[in-house]
Structure 1
Amino acid sequence: MTGSPFLTLPGAVPAEAPDEGVAAHYGNPLVEQRRLEQGRAIVDLSHRGVVTVSGPDRLSWLNSMASRALDRLAPGESVEALFLDASGHVEHAVHALDDGERTWLVVEGGDAARALAGWLDRMRFMLRVEVADASDAHAVVAAVPRGDDLPFELPEGALAWDDPWRRVIADGYAYAPESGHAGATWRLVEAIVPRPALAGLAAQVRAGTLQAAGVLALEALRIAAWRPRFATEVDERTLPHELDWLRSAVDLNKGCYRGQETVAKVVNLGRPPRRLVMLHLDGSDTILPVPGDVVIGVKQRPEPAPGEDPERRAVGAITSAAMHHELGPIALAVVKRAVPAELELIVESHGTDVAASQVEIVPAGAGPAVEVPRLPRLGIRH
């Protein structure tokens, strides 16, 4: 991938991992958040990877491996799907769209595109499919539309993927209650455009006919909407249940795919071993945690000895953090399942304790969707 023309715009500050290659902001991330939220700004996501699958068997083939039913994917329909390992852990997450001839899969970056394309290519066997890494020819830009209107005109040959996060998909499952869900008003459209079109979109920003927002603005809105992201919330142990990802990316009535047994078992009989929470952070020290910072649970003993300090125990880690234009400093974290909602939390960041209040996304009491009947104990008489 070549350098993005958006990085040549006035005030552009390059982003750090995992968003290298695009602008973090253009001078004022909080103002850019408001513009983005109001549907007036474009976000350069040209560091994202794009994989295409063509051939008459493409949809049935992808359907056999993905967590979503893709065999009847209609042209222009937007879906999110996961590819899991045999134990149900998340290996790839894709934003999928079909144009009637090709299925387009947007992933986190160039490395992810090469990894996914290589894995898919090894799974082709004798089927009539062709897999290609299209990241050099196509790029991704995004916006938060108001109604059906984007703040820019889609270039010729572009495709638009509409994020399904704002509602529970048919045959999906939600651990978080629908009432008051922060994602209910979330709307994001990712446009797959020919890479040469980036220069024209950047020229519109330079001319003042279009406004730009950096990825920091998008991240703040995403975190506030409780929206998981593969590059930040996923590690080698992640089950989709832990991030409430069955809401948008898993079809529980779909046929066999790798990892399905674990997905069904945890939903029907078990509990997610970890869970996603949002944290409201104390901003008095102007410290914003970074991914990997440890989340500590603080527990006061019922009858502490004089001078005894409260018990401190690591219960999780920060995955994403941002400064929101209304909520202030916020973060997503993955914590142990048993952490009570009312437990006092702090984040150890930059050598300082940052107080945090927890908002449950996957509730601590999230249990099996199917109640298993208890068998009577032998030898008991009534």
Structure 2
Amino acid sequence: MPGAFSGVPGAVVDDGVLRHAGDPMREQRALVRGTAIAPRGDRRVLAVTGEDRLTWLDSITSQALAQLPTGRSTELLVLDPQGRVEHVAGVVDDGETTWLFVDADDAAGLLTFLTRMRFRLRVAPRDASDEYAIVSVTDDGMGLLRPAAPSGPAVVWRDPWPDVTEGGAAYAHPDDHPGDDWRWNDALVDAAEQDRLASLAAAGELTVAGALAVDALRVAAWRPRWRDEVDERTIPHELDWLRTAVHLDKGCYRGQETVAKVHNLGHPPRRVIALHLDGSAESLPRRGDVVLSGGAEIGRITSAARHYEDGPIALAVVKRTADTDVDLVVQTEDGDVAASATTVVPKDAGATAGVPRLPRLSRRR
């Protein structure tokens, strides 16, 4: 169902993804106020049916899912034997089907992995993206999806970020986290509902926001994403992903030894930082642009965006020992850009760092 919102006035659509509808800053404000929806052509949904689906997913991922209550949203990682992140998915079960919300670029790879891991268990994973599209809204915007059905969409994944879910751990300080206002929902809509929303948007009766607006709010919330923050070396600790996607006390799974060792000893090899960029630069850094401290390379940009309040911002993954309490420089195609950093994952992150293990359970149900 790609391109359904291409008829919205001012829409810029690239490869089925609505980039913006004319004004990304206004779109950000509308999302925050709950007066806009965001069609997610960059997201896909996988469905897993069968009696063994939750215990099976529990055994092959980082999250405790065997007893996941119906309607409870959580997040999982698929790790390799060395604990590196291979796949990421939001998870919610409706009592009959477990729904996995994934980045479009990761959907085929995750489905291939799940298919290979079925063995003789009673599970049946499939790509349901031809049946449903994903539309995102904040908590305050849920009412925009309800006129066709008073109870709202049948399936909604409520992003638990940045709350520390049961069995998780916080590396960034739990108080005053910039993601506290990130109350995000991915809702499944069928073709008829997507067409209804697209018609309202084309007629100017509904505000839509594009990927640029969504990404700016995500970066401001320090929310990691598979497409951007993950590379071939990423382990969950580096991105503060133990908050929502890892259960430290669950049974054995691939990569668990690395997860436990790095957390208990501290000192993940790299760590994510948040950057405020010089606003005089005409263009934003790109993923992979080098970050310098004192003239030496310390890491690379993973995401960059223009935020409606904070201006140009970015996330970067840097060496654990890098000095980020000084003025930094980002090397871009258009020249050097000055930047200042805010610590997300501290140098001594881990169980020995003294950060409260469970400052609160997730408020998202």
TM-score (norm 2): 0.92
Secondary structure at 1:100 match in 2: coil
Rounded Cα–Cα distance in structure 2 between residues aligned with 1:250 and 1:186 = 20
Secondary structure at 1:266 match in 2: helix
Instruction: Determine what percentage of the aligned residue pairs are the same residue.
Output: 51
Instruction: Report how many residues are paired.
Output: 351
Rounded Cα–Cα distance in structure 1 between residues aligned with 2:116 and 2:324 = 44
Rounded Cα–Cα distance in structure 1 between residues aligned with 2:159 and 2:147 = 17
What residue in structure 1 maps to residue 8 of structure 2? 9
What's the CA shift string for 1:28-71, capped at 9, x where partnerless? 11111100111110001033121111111111111101111111
Residue 154 (structure 1) shift: 7.0
1:134 aligns with 2:128: yes
1:285 aligns with 2:281: yes
Name the aligned partner's letter for residue 139 of structure 1: A
Rounded Cα–Cα distance in structure 1 between residues aligned with 2:328 and 2:147 = 45
1:69 aligns with 2:68: no
Rounded Cα–Cα distance in structure 2 between residues aligned with 1:359 and 1:154 = 42
1:101 aligns with 2:62: no
What residue in structure 1 maps to residue 332 of structure 2? 349
Out of 128, 142, 152, the position equivalent to 2:145 is 152
**Would the aligned equivalents of 1:7 and 1:22 in 2 still touch at CA under 8 Å?**
no
**Would the aligned equivalents of 2:70 and 2:93 in 1 still touch at CA under 8 Å?**
yes
Residue 155 (structure 1) shift: 5.4
Residue 317 (structure 1) shift: 0.6
**Would the aligned equivalents of 2:53 and 2:122 in 1 still touch at CA under 8 Å?**
yes
1:26 aligns with 2:21: yes
Rounded Cα–Cα distance in structure 1 between residues aligned with 2:189 and 2:69 = 20
Q: Do the aligned partners of residues 154 and 4 (structure 1) sit closer, same or farther apart at CA in structure 2, a change above 3 Å counting?
A: farther
What's the CA shift string for 1:220-261, capped at 9, x where partnerless? 111111100111000010000000000111111111111000
The higher relative CO (CA closer than 8 Å, separation ≥ 6) is in 2
Rounded Cα–Cα distance in structure 2 between residues aligned with 1:68 and 1:125 = 20
What residue in structure 1 maps to residue 194 of structure 2? 198
1:45 aligns with 2:28: no
Tell me the C-alpha RMSD between the 2 structures.
1.7
Bigger Rg, structure 1 or 2: 1
Gaps of 5+ in 2: 355-365
Rounded Cα–Cα distance in structure 2 between residues aligned with 1:173 and 1:167 = 10
Rounded Cα–Cα distance in structure 1 between residues aligned with 2:145 and 2:117 = 38
**Would the aligned equivalents of 2:293 and 2:323 in 1 still touch at CA under 8 Å?**
no
Secondary structure at 1:5 match in 2: coil
Q: Do the aligned partners of residues 325 and 370 (structure 1) sit closer, same or farther apart at CA in structure 2, a change above 3 Å counting?
A: closer
Greater alpha carbon shift after TM alignment, 111-120 vs 74-83: 111-120
TM-score (norm 1): 0.88
**Would the aligned equivalents of 2:7 and 2:202 in 1 still touch at CA under 8 Å?**
no
What's the CA shift string for 1:106-151, capped at 9, x where partnerless? 1101x422221121111111111111111111111101122x8433
Secondary structure at 1:150 match in 2: helix
Residue 283 (structure 1) shift: 1.0
**Would the aligned equivalents of 1:295 and 1:346 in 2 still touch at CA under 8 Å?**
yes
Rounded Cα–Cα distance in structure 2 between residues aligned with 1:366 and 1:317 = 20
